[in-house]
Structure 1
Amino acid sequence: MPTGEVAVVGGGLIGLFSAHYLLERGYAVTVLEAGSGLGGGAARVNGGWVCPARSDPLPSWGVVRDGMRSLTSPGSGSFLLSARALPRVAGYLARFLASSSKGRFLRSWDDLDLLNRRTAGLVDELVEAGIIDALQDEGFLMLHSTRDEAEASRASLLAVSRRGLCPAPEPILERQALLELEPGLGDAAQVGFVHRGDRWLDPSRLVDRLGESLASRGVRPVRDTPVLALRQRGTSVELATRSGVVEASHAVIAAGAWSEQLLRPLGIRGYVTPGKGYSFTIHPEHPPTHVLRLGETHVGVTPMGDRTRVVGMVDLDGTPEGLHAGRIDVMKRKAAPYLSGIDWRASTDEQVGPRPMTPDGKPLIGCAPGAERIVVATGHNMLGLSLAAPTASLVADLVAHGPAAAVPAFDPMRFTDRRR
């Protein structure tokens, strides 16, 4: 039976799921959270999608094009760069560009599927255990203004279905059939289709239920305790905090967008860079019953009980915090033609959450070099909710078995010059 206590650095989705699977293995767990409550960062500020079929890596030529356009026209795309931030994110962008070729994109997607093939089964187990509830599966409604756009979108998802992670998309529907499904659609929603297989939930509810489950099983969350540094000494790990040193048998770095400052002293250059995602709540006259994907806008709409959340954007301004109201305005302008019966001025819960972005769109999961008792689990880009369960299961394997359990595709050292 495992002995010792594992210190998990970060109370976001990856940290909380890691605590769950470590408990399942018989470890004692302490969660060290920098904020005042669990579920900081992007854990609550997301679309709530458990979406293996939509888990392709971000780096691609289309996203590179969006980023370049945004330098001169900030409202033109979904991947936004700030000219003032370029010096701070130059290392990330150089490696992002190198990862954006078609061949690299497809290889990274294959690697992500190594995790995603386990997502559905693990999520089903968590539903059966009562940790996940209110998981919705009515389908994603893909909306477009022209039939050509809809056919191209459907062909893309048909190709995705051949990867074996989702069914084929349903036939294309015209305007009247769409209105029968969703009466609150605007004039831009002329054609579309339903795509099933991916599911969604309320991420805040998930964080709360997971936190309650962990507490009931003895996990000790230590709030307002940022970890400043950590090192392995013999058979233990020391974690330095403002209030003193915490000792554990193992540590897991799951600090999301703030992980890079802990990785560099360990010899890992992960280039984990915050990419801000925005969300807000609208109050439609006819609340949707499907997740809505709004054409080429890269804006999504998720029904969450009595709320309707709008999500979108990757804002790469080099900082993990700070909401730019102009980004919300851009999302509203893009979404408005697709939806009717909404007072856009009455939106609420405007939020921003930093996603931990990596240059190749894949997470960093593995043991630190020369310190196998320190496990890295960060850099999940926009896929934290979808990849949380399989990542955390792998984390438990790494704590139990060390580097022997590593998956080379997610090597935390893959961007590091090993000659240093």
Structure 2
Amino acid sequence: MQHVVVIGAGIVGLLTAYELRRRGHRVELRSQGIAEGASFAAAGMLAPAAEIQHGQGPLWDIMRAAGELHRELAAELPGAGYRDASTLVVGRDAADLADLRALGAVQRATGAEVRELTGAALHREEGALLRGLAGGVLLERDHQVDPRRLAASVLDALGATGPSDPAPRSARSVPGAGPPVEIRRGAVTDCAGIEADAVVLAAGLGVPAIDGPHRALDLSLRPVHGDILRLRVPQSLLLPGEENLVGRTVRALVRGRPVYLVPRDDRTLVLGATSREDDLAGTSAGGVLQLLQDAAEILPAVRETELLEVTTRDRPGTPDDLPLLGPVPGAEHVIVSTGYHRHGILLAAWAAQRTADLIDAVPPDSRTAEHLHAVRPDRFTPGAAPTGAPVFEEAR
């Protein structure tokens, strides 16, 4: 058993703590809040196929592996809000559909199951969609989770204790699991003096502000603002037997602009999301307006829903859109785990597994070694050795 301190309690930090406890370690979780940042705003699309973009080769394999790990978590955490439903991706007009088809070729090359649909077929799949859409694709393996329910389920599974949690949660009985996780609420300003076998920095954009050996690295993190809406669907809009306007995640290109609608079990829809790098401190009025207009162009009944919530959060982006995961050179007990950008929920399961493997010194297979090399946290640091070796070659 090792003593591991995880700093940051978004989905990445929570699942990392969960995996470490499951493997028998004594885990301490330190954070100002629990799943209150980007994780709170996230829609929870587990969409390794739909999220594929040109020029992100190393990320494709990682996302696909992460999606399968979430299927395992769905069996372990039955109350976490997983929905094993496919994803529709819609092209509003002919140009949008052409872009989807070009991307579909890349998706198929990665092994994704992509089925093209006509506009009429789209309407048969989801009757509330606008008639006359140009067409789209069906991605059978993409699914979803409710991040807020996931965070609550993981927190229960941690059996968290501590001064800030005077009523300990009931820890699930897991053979070989470590003791309940201790949670310490409060700002963490320095990790250099923490006495532990390993320290995991999973505090998102807050990682560079924490003093410690990782400050010698150029992490090149930047905030990418995202506005996201939650809508309630009136019962009057639904036909008998319907639970929501759509039964699966619907993504779309509307004159080149991406938009998505994610149904929840409580008759709500998550509508998102903007991706801004401007100087606005809060929500973008124009962004919210554009989201509603674009959503209404593919799902007209959106105009008749109730606006429940507008949430804006910053996501930690990197120059190459790959996360930062690995030990700090010269201080290998400190592991950086951040930079997950808009893929934080999807990649959290993969990040938890890889971080625990690093701490347990599990030798990676050749594909995992390539992934770890691609996401090493020193890759933007001038003078870092650009070797082809895995970041934990010495742990073999």
In the TM superposition, 1:338-353 aligns within 5 A as 338-343=298-303, 346-353=306-313
Number of residue pairs aligned between Structure 1 and Structure 2: 349
- Tell me by how many angstroms 1:341 deviates: 2.2
User: Is residue 312 of structure 1 aligned with residue 273 of structure 2?
Assistant: yes
Cα contact 2:30–2:183 (8 A) shared by 1: yes
2:394 paired residue number = none
Cα contact 2:86–2:140 (8 A) shared by 1: yes
Whole-angstrom CA distance in 1 between matches of 2:304 and 2:284 = 17
Cα contact 1:332–1:344 (8 A) shared by 2: no
Specify the SS of the correspondent of 2:359.
Answer: helix
Whole-angstrom CA distance in 1 between matches of 2:211 and 2:380 = 12
User: Over aligned residue pairs, what C-alpha RMSD do you find?
Assistant: 2.6
- Tell me by how many angstroms 1:344 deviates: 6.3
1:17 paired residue number = 15
- Tell me by how many angstroms 1:24 deviates: 2.3
1:122 paired residue number = 69
C-alpha change, 1:254 and 1:318, in structure 2 (3 Å) is: farther
1:95 paired residue number = none
- Tell me by how many angstroms 1:333 deviates: 2.3
Whole-angstrom CA distance in 1 between matches of 2:59 and 2:191 = 28
Cα contact 1:41–1:257 (8 A) shared by 2: no
User: Is residue 167 of structure 1 aligned with residue 113 of structure 2?
Assistant: yes
C-alpha change, 1:282 and 1:155, in structure 2 (3 Å) is: same
User: Is residue 41 of structure 1 aligned with residue 37 of structure 2?
Assistant: yes
Whole-angstrom CA distance in 2 between matches of 1:23 and 1:327 = 41
- Tell me by how many angstroms 1:187 deviates: 5.6
User: Is residue 196 of structure 1 aligned with residue 158 of structure 2?
Assistant: no
1:207 paired residue number = 151
Cα contact 2:100–2:136 (8 A) shared by 1: no
Aligned partner of 1:220 among 182, 198, 202? 182
Which sections of structure 2, spanning at least 5 residues, go unmatched? 160-170, 173-179, 239-244, 386-396
1:183 paired residue number = 127
- Tell me by how many angstroms 1:374 deviates: 0.6
Aligned partner of 1:417 among 357, 382, 392? 382
Whole-angstrom CA distance in 1 between matches of 2:37 and 2:317 = 13
Cα contact 1:116–1:386 (8 A) shared by 2: yes
- Tell me by how many angstroms 1:401 deviates: 2.3
Whole-angstrom CA distance in 2 between matches of 1:263 and 1:122 = 32
Aligned partner of 1:229 among 175, 190, 199? 190
Cα contact 2:92–2:252 (8 A) shared by 1: no
C-alpha change, 1:346 and 1:133, in structure 2 (3 Å) is: closer
Letter of the 1:359 counterpart: P
Deviations 1:226-274 (A, max 9, x none): 111221xxxxxx24xxxxxxx3221100001222223786301111111
Whole-angstrom CA distance in 2 between matches of 1:387 and 1:419 = 25
Deviations 1:40-73 (A, max 9, x none): 211121221112213446xx7xxxxxxxxxxxxx
2:390 paired residue number = none
- Tell me by how many angstroms 1:368 deviates: 1.1
Specify the SS of the correspondent of 1:417.
Answer: coil
Whole-angstrom CA distance in 1 between matches of 2:58 and 2:345 = 17
Letter of the 1:228 counterpart: T
2:166 paired residue number = none
1:289 paired residue number = 247
Whole-angstrom CA distance in 2 between matches of 1:210 and 1:293 = 28
Whole-angstrom CA distance in 2 between matches of 1:277 and 1:259 = 19
Whole-angstrom CA distance in 1 between matches of 2:59 and 2:211 = 22
2:206 paired residue number = 258
C-alpha change, 1:377 and 1:131, in structure 2 (3 Å) is: farther
Cα contact 2:129–2:298 (8 A) shared by 1: yes
Letter of the 1:135 counterpart: Y
Which stretch shows the higher mean deviation, 405-414 or 249-258? Answer: 405-414
C-alpha change, 1:403 and 1:251, in structure 2 (3 Å) is: farther
Whole-angstrom CA distance in 1 between matches of 2:96 and 2:282 = 35
C-alpha change, 1:356 and 1:195, in structure 2 (3 Å) is: same
Whole-angstrom CA distance in 1 between matches of 2:355 and 2:308 = 37
C-alpha change, 1:335 and 1:419, in structure 2 (3 Å) is: closer
- Tell me by how many angstroms 1:370 deviates: 1.3
Specify the SS of the correspondent of 2:40.
Answer: coil
- Tell me by how many angstroms 1:23 deviates: 1.2
Letter of the 2:188 counterpart: V
Whole-angstrom CA distance in 1 between matches of 2:283 and 2:37 = 13
Whole-angstrom CA distance in 2 between matches of 1:360 and 1:383 = 13
Letter of the 1:49 counterpart: M
Whole-angstrom CA distance in 2 between matches of 1:330 and 1:147 = 20
User: Is residue 384 of structure 1 aligned with residue 344 of structure 2?
Assistant: yes
Instruction: Select the structure that is richer in helix.
Output: 1
Which stretch shows the higher mean deviation, 126-135 or 368-377? Answer: 126-135
Q: Percent identity?
A: 26
Whole-angstrom CA distance in 2 between matches of 1:375 and 1:137 = 32
Aligned partner of 1:279 among 218, 222, 228? 228
C-alpha change, 1:188 and 1:10, in structure 2 (3 Å) is: farther
C-alpha change, 1:40 and 1:162, in structure 2 (3 Å) is: same
Whole-angstrom CA distance in 2 between matches of 1:121 and 1:48 = 15
Whole-angstrom CA distance in 2 between matches of 1:300 and 1:263 = 38
1:358 paired residue number = 318
Cα contact 1:201–1:304 (8 A) shared by 2: no
2:59 paired residue number = 112
C-alpha change, 1:408 and 1:160, in structure 2 (3 Å) is: same
User: Is residue 371 of structure 1 aligned with residue 331 of structure 2?
Assistant: yes
